Structure 1
């Protein structure tokens, strides 16, 4: 179970409409929404991994400490939700290095995991993986092996693999997909979880457990349980549909998901596994 800790105005789909310079002037809701998630997880005895922006950690260090004190895993989501596709290797290295330092300084714990903004590591920027390894990360969850207009690497392995040339070290842990008719279909959370009826999502994840005999990786954002968030004007129809679809149903579906499956942190589930697929070439 993973949570990408970012606010509603920081999503990649809003980049053309909300400049980063305006972020500090907008009403923030990430702290209260994440606290709701912490309470929801506590009620079910669930531990999760919180991929947290350095931007959020700087402004809400108390939230970072509450995540850690509750026994969850703290992981890195970069500094300010800049997609890796928009960075040079040097810019990427500095972004991730600083975000990791902020999180470790606040939490007092080593940060083992990283997730790129909008799953923005793919076939054209695999150079990011050696940098993550160099910075001391043990795993990444930055590839989505699907076809999508904003991200995706459908030819990538669907399950854990070593992405660097050495064939060991850093693990890449792709978000879960279900394979049907030779194609990968998303079933690991995000907008697809809000779009599809919950029984279909549950069926797909159970199929991965049963047929592939693999653990599922699920993700969502704090803003997805917040139907009362400020509505943005002037945004495109597709962006509006993707962002606001079924926000009022998300918490009920999430509660069912927590009930129907057994969940734990990324580190607890995957770093102890020994059977890993070969590297992407």
Structure 2
């Protein structure tokens, strides 16, 4: 039987990314050109043409302003999930504000989409055992069933290199964690989940990495990207750092065609369906 991987999209606009957090004020968001609807519709059309269903981890901020987009996501058969409300790092807002954020996002998303929301992904993968040990329990308290918020790599903005690389339950009563996919090489975990890494490395290298991850672990992988990544014409933020601009803009013109090729080369499904057994398990999976 062909192994099915999980396809996911983090629905946020170009000005909400962590790379620009220091140069674009949150209070200015509503005054900037929004491109999230058109870009997400383009992603939806790509999935429709490929016959793929995915999980859309969506900001409550986006759902509040564009409820028809949320309705389209659900109508197309995709899983609607939460990316929090305002794209704030979990490790910076603390336990109580985190609870308020995920509760608000869940309510807004469910109201807009008319569908239950059980999945969550933290902005910038900002959940870790060291900095947010309470997060998985809070998610369970607020009605979520799983998180896909831990990236078992070393990175300057995020990462938990010592975290399990397979589904696990950090606490007995908390939600299950579905970590981002990595490949082990020379004693290190290398990212193999999408995002900027997918745009930076040659496509055959990424394809080989995901095949290796599937074969070595005999487990489904997790892939993610953002609607703004298929939009090479988006506004440029000139006062961001050179590194931030490199990370954000490199490879945008090839991203859509790369995703289309990836959909042909692997079999894909929604997070809640691909990992149904792990999500339903009530014991510690680590």
Query: What interval of TM-score do these two structures reach, taking the shorter chain for normalisation?
Result: over 0.9
Q: Report how many residues are paired.
A: 278
Task: Look up the match of 1:89.
Answer: 95
Q: Which runs of 4+ in 1 moved over 2 A?
A: 272-280
Cα distance in 2 for partners of 1:169, 1:229 equals: 39
Task: Look up the match of 1:159.
Answer: 166
Cα distance in 1 for partners of 2:255, 2:170 equals: 33
Cα distance in 1 for partners of 2:208, 2:285 equals: 29
Task: Check conservation: 1:161, 1:276, Cα contact below 8 A.
Answer: no
Residues 211-230 of structure 1, C-alpha deviations (whole Å, 9 max, x = no match):
11010100000000000001
Cα distance in 2 for partners of 1:276, 1:129 equals: 13
Cα distance in 2 for partners of 1:124, 1:98 equals: 22
- Cα gap change, 1:278/1:155 in structure 2, threshold over 3 Å: closer, same or farther? farther
> Highest relative contact order (Cα 8 Å, sep 6+), 1 or 2?
2
Q: Does 1:103 align with 2:109?
A: yes
Three-state SS of the structure 2 residue aligned to 1:4 is strand
Q: Does 1:68 align with 2:54?
A: no
Task: Check conservation: 1:159, 1:277, Cα contact below 8 A.
Answer: no
TM-score of the aligned structures, taking structure 1 as reference length: 0.96
Structure 2 spans left out of the alignment, 5+ residues: 1-6
Task: Look up the match of 1:53.
Answer: 59
Task: Check conservation: 2:181, 2:192, Cα contact below 8 A.
Answer: yes
Three-state SS of the structure 2 residue aligned to 1:218 is strand
User: RMSD over aligned Cα, in angstroms?
Assistant: 1.4
| Residue 278 of structure 1, CA deviation | 4.5
TM-score of the aligned structures, taking structure 2 as reference length: 0.94
- Cα gap change, 1:181/1:278 in structure 2, threshold over 3 Å: closer, same or farther? farther
Pairs within 5 Å for 1:157-236: 157-164=164-171, 166=172, 170-236=175-241
- Cα gap change, 1:31/1:185 in structure 2, threshold over 3 Å: closer, same or farther? same
